[in-house]
Amino acid sequence: MHSLGIAFDLLFGSPIIFYSIIGLTWGIVGGSLPGISASITMALLLPFTYGMAPVQAIVMLACTYIGAEYGGSIPAILIRTPGTNSAAATVIDGYEMKKQGRAGEALGISLWSGVIGSLFGLVMLIVMTEPLSWVALAFKPTSYFALGILGLSVIASMTNGSLLKGLAAAVVGLMISTIGTDPISGVTRFTFGSPELLGGVEPVLIMIGVFAVSELMMQSGSKGLGSIGEQVRVRLPSLSMMNKLKRSQFIGCILGTFEGLTPGGGGSIAAFLSYNEAKRWSKEPEKFGKGSEEGVAAPETANNTVASAALIPLLSFGIPSSNSTAVLLGGLLIHGLLPGPRLFEQNADVVIGLYVGSFIATLAQIVVGILLLPICVWLVNRPRAYLAGFILALILSGIFTLNTSISDLGIALGMGLVGYMMRRAGYPFLPLILGVVLGHMVESSYRRSLLLSGGEYSIFLEDPIAIGLLLASAVFVTLSLVREFRDARNAKLKDAHA
């Protein structure tokens, strides 16, 4: 009853509806711009949340995530270019429907499936998050250190490309997190005499740099997109069509929840898995790839389910499973909120506000999505140079408003260059971001553990939770190495037979 009271107070006594709609709107617009992923859309908004109350800031960021997952399907269907990575599977049948003159129907199925997926994911979030968070009560400093190592190793081993590249990116992130003041002794480190670095490098600057600025640099040499060339209106599915889509939407909900709980999973994997399984269990598998309604519903349900389910490990243990949840973790830390059971005890209004705001955004998604479609279509048709200029101006103004500091602009632009080089070399971003975000927890827990033991490393072997987490880290890294060696061997055998 106490939670219901807080929910009603937030719903009717605070502007939470306003912030959830603003986040949803910005998410749909940002997600509809090709190349501007959900994580970039959230990172662009992050600087503007500094002056907000914590519940308002977190609600707006979470609703941006929800909106971006739907927005990514708009260019995927209309111009065969997914606005977000997780909308890549929607291209297969969505664009085929567009070529058949059924673009409005495809957009309506995407919108309806997104609402179904978001509602299911929200239910899973409410049911699973708080019980899981109480497991963290048994954690000691050694456990938190091992948990941070597990998060870094899992993400590094599950990202596309080389394990060594993932681990290298994580190490760079950990190195950046050591800049500033030592958390135990108070000694300044790696500041090079700059007072602006005494407090360390703010994660928001790293996120905006490697996500948004580097993306603008990558797009600067690409050609503009083709014109849509027609007026499009959303057509929501009929009752008979809704009944036909139930099976594929159920598959998307289940796989989306599973992938949301899995570190390194994310919407892209969930979308493609759901597409394949929907085809397997469909009564009309021959229509897949030729404009199947189920081929649009399954991946869109899955990636919208992930948008809510991915918050479960984030709020329970502080381990983000994707770039977007890493940005949301940054938003939590900016406002002094630590994931885990204490978040539910000391900041219940934030958690309940997140539930309420997500519910409002999910219900409003149909109306807002229909109203915003003409604007999104207009934006997709704009030359990329104009969009890039607008986004760069938004980035620079947002960064400068944080501390009115020119050095912040330099850090963000410098990290943009680093992100550009990482993209070119095939290094993943998420281990780097996690290294920056989790670095303080890993270092401070490690140092406190050694202080408690008088410098004896055996303390890490006396905590069964720490042992289990460290062994799990070793297993993930080992399995990743085995997979890489097997793939390299298969590639050599293939070349030999060619």
The per-residue pLDDT for 1 is: 47
Residue 14 binned pLDDT confidence (cut-offs 50, 70, 90): low
Structure tokens at 121: 């994911």
Of 32-46, 227-241, 323-337, 417-431, the least confident: 227-241
What is d(CA 391, CA 386) in angstroms, rounded to the nearest whole number? 9
The per-residue pLDDT for 497 is: 67
Mean pLDDT of 411-425: 88
The per-residue pLDDT for 444 is: 84
CA dihedral (419, 425, 431, 434) in degrees, to 10, reads -10
475 CB contacts (<8 Å, ≥6 apart)? none
Whether the pLDDT of residue 315 is over 90: the answer is no
57 CB contacts (<8 Å, ≥6 apart)? 49, 50, 331, 334, 335
Residue 412's CB is within 10 A of a number of other CB atoms, namely 27
The per-residue pLDDT for 216 is: 78
The per-residue pLDDT for 466 is: 86
Domain boundaries along the sequence of the chain: 1-496
Of 37-46, 80-89, 188-197, 410-419, the least confident: 80-89
Phi then psi for residue 463, to 5 deg, are: -105, 110
What is d(CA 84, CA 69) in angstroms, rounded to the nearest whole number? 7
Whether the pLDDT of residue 4 is over 60: the answer is no
207-227 confidence digits (pLDDT tens): 778 877 887 787 766 655 555
The per-residue pLDDT for 308 is: 86
Distances (CA, A) of 351 to 7, 202, 370: 10, 24, 29
Distances (CA, A) of 463 to 140, 334, 440, 457, 473: 8, 30, 21, 11, 15
Q: Are strands 180-181 and 188-189 parallel, antiparallel or unpaired?
A: antiparallel
Q: Report which secondary-structure segment, H or E, holds 189.
A: strand 188-189
Q: Label residues 246-267 b or e (16+ Cβ within 10 Å = b).
A: ebbbbbbbbbbbbbbbbbbbbb
- Cβ-in-10-Å burial (0-12, 13-18, 19+) of 241 comes to middle
The per-residue pLDDT for 119 is: 92
More confidently predicted of 6 and 418:
418
Residue 182 binned pLDDT confidence (cut-offs 50, 70, 90): confident
392-414 confidence digits (pLDDT tens): 887 787 777 667 778 888 888 88
Of 11-20, 323-332, 448-457, the least confident: 11-20
What is d(CA 147, CA 145) in angstroms, rounded to the nearest whole number? 5
Cβ–Cβ under 8 Å, residues 83 and 215: no
The per-residue pLDDT for 280 is: 81
Of 80-94, 170-184, 272-286, 375-389, the least confident: 375-389
Question: Global pTM?
Answer: 0.74
Closest CA to 264 of 430, 41, 408: 430
